[in-house]
Structure 1
């Protein structure tokens, strides 16, 4: 279903304002949604106006470019996300090592307690040599 002549006229005027960089109702980005907003018609109406839409597509052949500030912001966000992923990976690795060391420390603590009990039970007798097996050999 084609659009009325009045609607087509509103769309062409809105397109002219957007292309001239003088929008009245939008931020000026060259998008079909802004074309609809600038003309104060629905997005569906823009797509029914095939002639205006073809003209829009011919004039806006390239994608909307980002400003240098937006590019810098997006690059900074990408860099920060990458650094955060690396930091989280490192934290996970170190947490695993910490857990392993805590387990070893707890085992050594209890082995030490057992050895102290054995030595105190044997009186003041000293241990002549370390046993041939144990975690200290690993």
Structure 2
């Protein structure tokens, strides 16, 4: 296929996709669909006819259409941000618990040190606790 014929086929495919009347593709407004619609390899658009690829994307953006792939990525990003916010809240909650347990351990260490010093001076008495009720 000649260079000029490729360009003519790509432009015709571009018009069909933008009109919503695809013949050979799924109708998505992507380079892959444009290549399939024009019956050319994708690399022909991305390497040989980059001006037509850029023109196609400019027309898609000018119409205010958001490609399905971008919509999907935006949804995934939104979900990831929600999961991140949830994880951040959980981390904050767990950090509060860790801080509480650290304070409890510190109090127990102080009490243990006091008990040991009393025991060393012979003033400590240990009393057995009654078993818990059943």
**Would the TM-score normalized by the shorter structure come out above 0.5?**
yes
For 1:46, the equivalent position in structure 2 comes to: 45
Q: Distance in 2 between matches of 1:57 and 1:120?
A: 84
Query: Closer, same or farther in 2 for the Cα pair 1:38/1:107, shift >3 Å?
Result: farther
For 1:109, the equivalent position in structure 2 comes to: 112
Q: Distance in 2 between matches of 1:120 and 1:59?
A: 87
How far is the alpha carbon of 1:66 from its aligned partner?
6.3
Matches within 5 A, 1:17-96: 17-23=16-22, 24-26=24-26, 28-47=27-46, 48-49=48-49, 52-53=52-53, 55-57=55-57, 59-62=59-62, 64-65=65-66, 74-96=77-99
2:17–2:28 contact (8 Å) kept in structure 1: yes
How far is the alpha carbon of 1:18 from its aligned partner?
1.9
Query: Closer, same or farther in 2 for the Cα pair 1:101/1:40, shift >3 Å?
Result: farther
- Please point out which of 112, 120, 123 is paired with 1:119: 123
TM-score, length basis structure 1: 0.55
1:29–1:64 contact (8 Å) kept in structure 2: no
- Please point out which of 99, 103, 113 is paired with 1:100: 103
Deviations along 1:77-133, one digit per CA (max 9) or x if unpaired, are 423321221321332343133223213313313422442452259xxxxxxxxxxxx
The answer for unaligned runs of 5 or more in structure 1 is 122-138
Larger-gyration structure (1/2): 1
TM-score, length basis structure 2: 0.57
Aligned residues: 117
